[in-house]
A and B are shown apart, each in its own frame.
Chain A
Amino acid sequence: MKRKQKGNLARAFYRFKKNPLSLIGLSIILMMASIAIFAPFIALYPEDAGGAVHFEKMFQPPSWNHPFGTDEVGRDAFSRVIFGSRISLMLGVVVLSVAVLIGVPLGLFAGYFGGKVETIIMRITDIFLAIPPLVLALAVTAVLERNLQNSMFAIAFTWWPWYARLVYGETLSKKEEDFVEVSESLGASRLYIIFREILPNMTSPLLVKITLDMGYAILVGAALGFLGLGAQPPTAEWGTLVSLGRIHLPKMWWLSTFSGLAIFITVLGFNLLGDGLRDFFDVEVE
């Protein structure tokens, strides 16, 4: 028994190592997370993350003092990009937590109970899935005040149906398994079976989907920021930074370029890791 376990672990580790891309992805994410945590120490001018103004040094191209240049009121673009990591990562975490907390129980209930519960939950899910996520998020921000919290809410609002559907499908196949039948005949309560027997058996597809979705959610959040529907200036959010820098093209190219690059690298990290985890757990997630 013990030897078999070790064999599995060794094989899993071998598979993970064989895919250097997922290691790169993991290092990117760890790097971004530490940048977000230690932002005040890494940023050269932490006060520039907010609404500071230094007109005497506006629009400076990248240099040693200002690695990413300065913006239209002389703020250090590097410090603003560093602080932007906090917002984007937080947005990803909040959106996915909400989506998982709503979508997973609904999917479990729909799959396990069947009947009316299933019909109601899954038809509502279908309605949400009929509209492309970014469009629905836009429509939701239209009725709300425009700020970061509301854009997170709007994205989470469009995100949970995907989890409901994934978990629903998994539940349908898991509830036919013997271990569920055994628990039922032993007289376990339904909630116990759902959350302690069925749910733990779908952690790997969930984990893969959450990792891949982190990147996607950050992209959507940045897109909303870019359109002016998310975080509002002077907050340093990556999408907002790109759109502010765009006004000063083509001469002040550095403003949009570096903040966009930060989004790209972060999203790439999550995609690489998610893809590696998919091979690692050997699961199919769309």
Chain B
Amino acid sequence: MSLITKRDVSKDLFQRLPATLELVVAAMAIAVLAGIPLGVLSALHKDRTIDQLSRMFAFAGVSLPRFWIGIMFQIAFAYSLGLLPITGRITGDPPTHITGLYLLDSLLTRDFPAFMDSFKHILLPSITLSLSPLAQITRLIRASMIEQLRKDYTVVSRIIGMPENLNIYKYMLKNAFTATLTVIGLLFGWMIGNAFVVEQVFSWPGMARYGVNSVLRNDFNAVVGVTLVIGVGYVLINFIVDLLYGYLDPRIRLKK
């Protein structure tokens, strides 16, 4: 029970959990989908212009204060250009409640205007949240791809004339990605932490914002609830990562 609102903390939490989940998953999707090609590109063009640019980008990505870059995005894309909404998850009513993830719900109910609208809303916050993980994933993929480039099997497949793209994306990337996986698990924790800041900037009605407001109101029960849910979620994510390891690497799967 909350000390201030006298409402059930768990009910409040689960009502807000999907919003945070949606934000974090979207941000992670951006980080992984953009980070892998960027990392592969800079590994293949090591020390050339592309690599130098991605290195600059990586340094900037980990050094930018999340709340500040979020505000800068708001000034640029929302206030000045008027392209994207400033805050919130959706204009008007949310789509029919199925999972609580607006993007998924609107797709399931074939409500395309709602989908586009929530897509526009999630764009800025998720990009803001994804920048630092994106930078870290890029660097990691680059480092492990460079390692793979030196391996014997790469040289052999080149000699026997295997198409370069098949070689890169099917064999080398699979090996390179295993090393990145652990870090992705850890980055989820980082993202949940920084979701607190990003949700505040974009008035995203998620669990993290609820947590911050509870701290500000000295609502101790609610704070404990938020911390507990996040701790459990973090452990779960790392458990899933361990399972994925086995899927990607047969040596681990078959080891007793």
B96 within 8 A of A: no
Q: Say whether, besides A135-B192, A260-B68, A250 and B231 are in contact (CB < 8 Å).
A: no
Residues B193 and A250 in contact, CB atoms below 8 Å apart: no
- B residues less than 8 Å from A138 (CB atoms): 196, 211-212, 215, 223, 227
Cα separation A141 to B220 with both chains bound (whole Å): 11
Give the most central of B65, B67, B192, B215: most A CB within 10 Å: B65
- Residues of B bordering A, CB below 8 Å: 59-60, 62-69, 71-72, 74-75, 79-80, 189-190, 192-194, 196-197, 200-201, 211-212, 214-216, 218, 220, 223-224, 226-227, 230-231, 234-235
How many A-B residue pairs lie within 8 Å, measured between CB atoms?
Answer: 120
| 6 closest residue pairs by CB, A with B | A260-B68, A134-B193, A250-B79, A132-B193, A132-B189, A268-B63
| Inter-chain contact A246/B197, CB cutoff 8 Å | no
Q: A132-B189, A142-B218, A264-B64 are in contact. Are A227 and B197 (CB under 8 A)?
A: yes
Give CA–CA (A239, B59) in the complex, Å.
Answer: 20
Given contacts A223-B196, A260-B72, 20 further A-B contacts (CB under 8 A): A131-B230, A134-B194, A138-B211, A139-B226, A142-B215, A219-B65, A223-B66, A223-B67, A226-B197, A227-B196, A227-B215, A242-B71, A260-B65, A260-B68, A261-B68, A264-B63, A264-B65, A264-B68, A267-B63, A272-B59
Tell me if A246 and B65 are in contact (CB < 8 A). Answer: no
- For this complex, 30 residue pairs linking A to B, each with C-beta atoms less than 8 Å apart, are A130-B234, A132-B193, A132-B230, A133-B193, A134-B193, A138-B211, A138-B215, A138-B227, A141-B215, A142-B215, A142-B220, A222-B67, A227-B196, A228-B216, A229-B212, A242-B67, A246-B71, A246-B201, A249-B71, A250-B74, A253-B75, A260-B65, A260-B68, A263-B68, A267-B62, A268-B59, A268-B60, A268-B63, A271-B59, A271-B62
Interface size class of A (residues with CB under 8 A): 35 or more
Q: Is A215 an interface residue (CB 8 A)?
A: yes
CA gap between A132 and B234 in the complex, in Å: 8
Cβ contact of B196, chosen from A135, A246, A261, cutoff 8 A: A135
Cα–Cα, bound, A218→B145 (Å): 32
B68 to chain A, nearest CB (A): 3
- Chain B residues lying within 8 Å of A267, measured Cβ to Cβ, are 62-65
Question: What is the 8 Å Cβ interface bit string for chain A, positions 131-174, against chain B (1 contact, 0 not)?
Answer: 11111101101110000000000000000000000000000000
Q: How far is the CB of A214 from chain B (nearest CB, A)?
A: 12
Main SS class of interface, B:
helix
Contact A239 B227 (CB under 8 A): no
Could you say which residues of chain B place their CB within 8 Å of the CB of A60? none
Report the minimal beta-carbon distance from A283 to chain B, rounded to whole angstroms.
14
Give the residues in chain B near A271, CB-CB below 8 Å: 59, 62-63
Task: Give CA–CA (A250, B81) in the complex, Å.
Answer: 12
Closest to B227 in A: A139
The verdict on A256 contacting chain B, using a C-beta distance below 8 Å, is yes
* Residues in B neighbouring A79, C-beta threshold 8 A: none
Tell me the bound Cα distance from A204 to B226 in angstroms. Answer: 38
- Given A139-B223, A227-B212, are A249 and B65 also a contact pair (CB < 8 Å)? no
* A132 close to B220 (CB less than 8 A): no
Nearest residue in B to A260 (C-beta to C-beta)? B68
Given A227-B196, A271-B59: A222 in contact with B65 (beta carbons within 8 A): yes
Q: How far is the CB of A79 from chain B (nearest CB, A)?
A: 20
The answer to whether A249 and B79 have CB atoms under 8 Å apart is yes
Instruction: Tell me, rounded to whole Å, the shortest Cβ–Cβ distance linking B181 to chain A.
Output: 14
Judge if A27 is at the interface, Cβ distance under 8 Å.
no
For residue A112, give the distance in angstroms from its CB to the closest CB of chain B: 27
Residues of B within 8 A of A275 (CB): 59
Report the bound CA distance from A253 to B71 in whole Å: 10
A229 to B196, CA, bound (A): 12
- Residue ID in chain B nearest A216 by CB atoms: B62
**CB atoms of A229 and B65 under 8 A apart:** no
Min distance, Cβ B71 to any Cβ of chain A, angstroms? 5
List, in ascending order, chain A residues with CB within 8 A of B218's CB. 142
